[in-house]
Amino acid sequence: MNQTVAVTGATGFIGKYIIDNLLARGFHVRALTRTARAHVNDNL
């Protein structure tokens, strides 16, 4: 899938689950965080 999705709150409990789910479904994900150095997911 070529769609890109922006996820706010990407480092939170629910945000991490949503990102994993979107990546598994083939979406491109942009994770929005408060700090540039926040660790979100190794696949981003």
Q: Report pLDDT digits (tens) over 1-44.
A: 689 999 999 889 999 999 999 999 999 999 888 877 767 777 76
Residue 1 domain flag: yes
Residue 42 domain flag: no
Residue 37, class by beta-carbon neighbours within 10 Å (0-12 exposed, 13-18 middle, 19+ buried)?
exposed
Amino acid 44: pLDDT: 67
Amino acid 33: pLDDT: 82
Amino acid 1: pLDDT: 63
Residue 41 domain flag: no
Amino acid 11: pLDDT: 87
Residue 44 domain flag: no
Amino acid 3: pLDDT: 95
Neighbours of 7 (CB within 10 A): 22
> What is the number of domains present in the chain?
1
| Domain interval for residue 31 | 1-35
Amino acid 25: pLDDT: 96
Contact 42, 31 (CB under 8 A): no
